[in-house]
Amino acid sequence: MPYTVLRADSPADSTEEMPGEPAGTRTVIRYKPILLSGLLPGSGQLYQGQNRGYLYLAAEVASIAGWVVFRNQGGDAEEEYIDYAWINARENISTRNIRGDDEYYEHLARWTLSGQFDTDNNYDLNEPFTIDPWTEFESWNGEQWRIATINYFDPDSTGAYTIGTRADSLAALQYYSGRAYQSDFYWDWTKENTVLNYRAVQNQYLDLRSESNQAYQRATLSLIVLMANHAVSVVDAFISAKIELPAGGEDDRTKLDFELERGLKDFPGGTIRLTHRF
């Protein structure tokens, strides 16, 4: 009985032949392990029967768990030092319990007090010349005015920076108002503490803040390990997914055979046969 055989080979994994191979051989790259490792480190290695995939999986789980744990620790310690600062340095000093940014809490760690924004608390921010800056330089606000005068004024005969044009004064006041804290953010670590122990109270705050920052840094490190684990797993899968084959040979592990037999005259039916080998 005459018949024809139609045969098609279709790879189960996408592959690509590498140019420039030695005569008689060719390299085929199987992309499925690479994609698997990109999604979940180690899965591409396990797909190829490589037990080191478990190491990548363990690193993935450990880095994710570390990120979650350290982020929570950092957040808890952050809330603790913020509450501590309110009770020991801001309550009855700040007009409201408003949360500041990270830079603000860094200043609380380094400066004993903020100082006032205006010496008589009678000013209009829209009218800079109504501001009478705080001049006690041991405070944060006083230090900002000192820097403003150095930047915009000229020294007088005594060396004090007090000489400037109206434009210079305006620039100095604008610099000061942009850096100095107003009443909602005043602080003073000496408010309920003697001179002998207020530094110990402030140092306790510094320790709490350092604990929070260190936990956040560990969380960041865990995230870096997570990304590195993905990258290394993908590179490893790429290297191990390259298969050396004889020239003209086929990769039996990723081969899908399709055969169709159909009678031309006497046999009206047909036979389809599929074979998939790994």
- Residue-wise burial string across 120-155, b where 16 or more C-beta atoms lie within 10 A, e elsewhere: eeebeeeebeebebbeeeebbbbbbbbbbbeebbee
Model pTM?
A: 0.68
231-276: pLDDT as tens digits:
888 888 887 766 544 555 554 444 434 344 444 444 455 444 444 4
Per-domain boundaries in the chain:
79-221
pLDDT score of 193: 64
Mean pLDDT score, 138-153: 94
CB-CB contact of 215 with 77 (8 Å): yes
What angle, rounded to 10 degrees, do the helices at 198-240 and 102-110 form? 130
Q: Please state, for a pLDDT cut of 90, what percent of the chain lies above it.
A: 47
251 vs 181 pLDDT, higher one: 181
The identity of residue 135, as a single letter, is T
pLDDT at 167 over 70: yes
Per-residue model confidence as pLDDT tens digits over 147-163: 999 999 887 655 556 66
Phi, psi of 104 (to 5 degrees): -60, -45
Residue-by-residue DSSP string for 226-265? HHHHHHHHHHHHHHHTEEEEETT---GGGEEEEEEEEESS
Count of beta carbons in the 10 Å neighbourhood of residue 245: 15
- In the prediction, which pLDDT does 103 show? 97
Q: What whole-number distance in Å separates Cα of residue 174 and Cα of residue 167? A: 11
C-alpha triplet 224, 225, 226: angle, nearest 5°: 90
Hey, what amino acid is at 213?
A: N
Residues 90 and 186: beta-carbon distance below 8 Å: yes
> 78-131, pLDDT tens digit by residue?
999 999 999 999 999 998 889 999 999 999 999 999 999 999 888 998 898 999
